[in-house]
Structure 1
Amino acid sequence: MYRFGLIVCVALLFSCRTAQVEVLDRHQDFSLVQYSSFRFIENDGEAFSRDYREKINFLKDQIVRQMEARGLTHDRENPELLVNIGIAVEDRVQTRQTGLVTDPGTFNYIGQRRYTWKSETVEVGRYQQGTMTIHLVDPVMGEAVWMGTVEKVLPRGAGHLQETVIRGVEKLFKQIDRD
């Protein structure tokens, strides 16, 4: 029984650390080997902070590495494939329910040997959930030929954030290779 509990705990720890990758849509004839060049769809209309731009450029560098590893070249003039990136970061609160076993000090004495206890939701911590969506667009067809997303709890340290981005992009491109 102890071994089973240990296996379940280890599985839960590793499942919490992995990124969730999901293919949202795929054109039936899509294959990345059909294309030889790509470029990013730029959004110049909005003013972003320097820190944000640095993080976006790091993300783009990782995507370029993955595309070039698959034989595509980064062509800003006449690409065969367009890459659109969407990023969302959401602040979240982790909670849990109080219980008789975990919170025995929450009994309230109400007189005459009577006690009351009520289960409550308490905050355990705060974290950020990051989601990156990539749309691969064929400019000739005028539509997205592949759409995927990767979702992960973001680490607090800047160095760990880069490692998380690298692993997330790798997982996303492994999914593209499968399709």
Structure 2
Amino acid sequence: MKTVVALLLVLISVVAGCSSYRIVKNEQDGSANWSTYRTFAFIDTSRIDPSPGTTYQAMMEQVKRAVAVELVNRGYQQVTGDPIAGQPDLLVNIGTVVNEKTQTRPTTIYEAPRYIGQRRYHWQSQEVPVGTYREGTLSLHIVDSRRENLLWDAAVSSILSKKGVTPEQINEAVAKVFSKFPGKAS
């Protein structure tokens, strides 16, 4: 009985340890002295698209809250209001992209047509489309506001469900990307 319980606990920890999020980019400025930075602010993106959809706005606000929590937990203080007037040490830029992708599978020899005829008949495996899905990527750029130098460029990616993205999923994705953050440790 003890071995069954132990095996079950190992299985649960393995499944819980597997994340559906993968870090697709993690580049940093090796010369950056992160201990000199104390404050941060988000770059205003409303000038890019003055009328984004309400779903997009709500999602971006959730991403900003999750990023702010991660940075505050690491000892940085958020500057609110106009980032230029408040002169934060770090500027945080957030970007999201959703791509429609096609899921494929290879054909097998068992799917080859039965053919009797010329000797030059040739069959090879091919990729066959079986469905489509959406993959979302969240990009974070942290910039030194005074030197205008990119300090950290990171991105995390995941397959999106048809129901949409929940705040818990956003928090998990941001936590995953911040697991590689080169700045102050939490």
The TM-score, its normalising length taken from structure 1, stands at 0.75
Partner of 1:165: 170
The one-letter amino acid of 2:94's match is: I
Partner of 1:68: 72
Bigger proportion of residues as helix? 1
The one-letter amino acid of 1:162's match is: P
2:50 paired with 1:44: no
Q: How many residues align?
A: 159
The one-letter amino acid of 1:166's match is: N
Q: Residue 24 of structure 1: CA displacement? A: 2.4
Deviates more, 1:147-156 or 1:130-139: 147-156
2:179 paired with 1:174: yes
Q: Residue 20 of structure 1: CA displacement? A: 2.3
The one-letter amino acid of 2:170's match is: V
Please, which runs of 5 or more residues in structure 1 have no aligned partner? 1-10
Q: Residue 109 of structure 1: CA displacement? A: 5.8
Partner of 1:107: 113
Name the CA distance, whole Å, in 2 between partners of 1:58 and 1:52. 10
After TM superposition, the structure 1 = structure 2 runs for residues 82-161 of structure 1, keeping only pairs within 5 Å, are: 82-101=91-110, 103=111, 107-108=113-114, 119-158=125-164, 161=166
Secondary structure of 2:108 counterpart? coil
Partner of 1:6: none
Secondary structure of 1:175 counterpart? coil
Q: Deviations over 1:110-142 (max 9, x none)?
A: 68xxx9966443212211111121111111112
Please say if residues 21 and 157 of structure 2, whose CA atoms lie closer than 8 Å, have aligned partners that are also in contact.
no
Bigger proportion of residues as strand? 1
> C-alpha root-mean-square deviation of aligned residues, in Å?
2.7
Q: Deviations over 1:146-166 (max 9, x none)?
A: 2111122223333x5433321
Q: Deviations over 1:73-118 (max 9, x none)?
A: 22124112110112111110011121124x4xx534668xxx9966
The TM-score, its normalising length taken from structure 2, stands at 0.72
Secondary structure of 2:138 counterpart? strand
Q: Residue 17 of structure 1: CA displacement? A: 2.5
Seen in structure 2, the aligned counterparts of structure 1 residues 37 and 16 have a Cα distance that, compared at 3 Å, is closer
Seen in structure 2, the aligned counterparts of structure 1 residues 128 and 161 have a Cα distance that, compared at 3 Å, is farther
Name the CA distance, whole Å, in 2 between partners of 1:42 and 1:35. 20
Work out the percentage of aligned pairs sharing the same amino acid: 27
Partner of 1:19: 22
The one-letter amino acid of 2:168's match is: E
Q: Deviations over 1:17-48 (max 9, x none)?
A: 342243123241242x4322111001122120
Please, which runs of 5 or more residues in structure 2 have no aligned partner? 1-13
Name the CA distance, whole Å, in 2 between partners of 1:135 and 1:123. 35
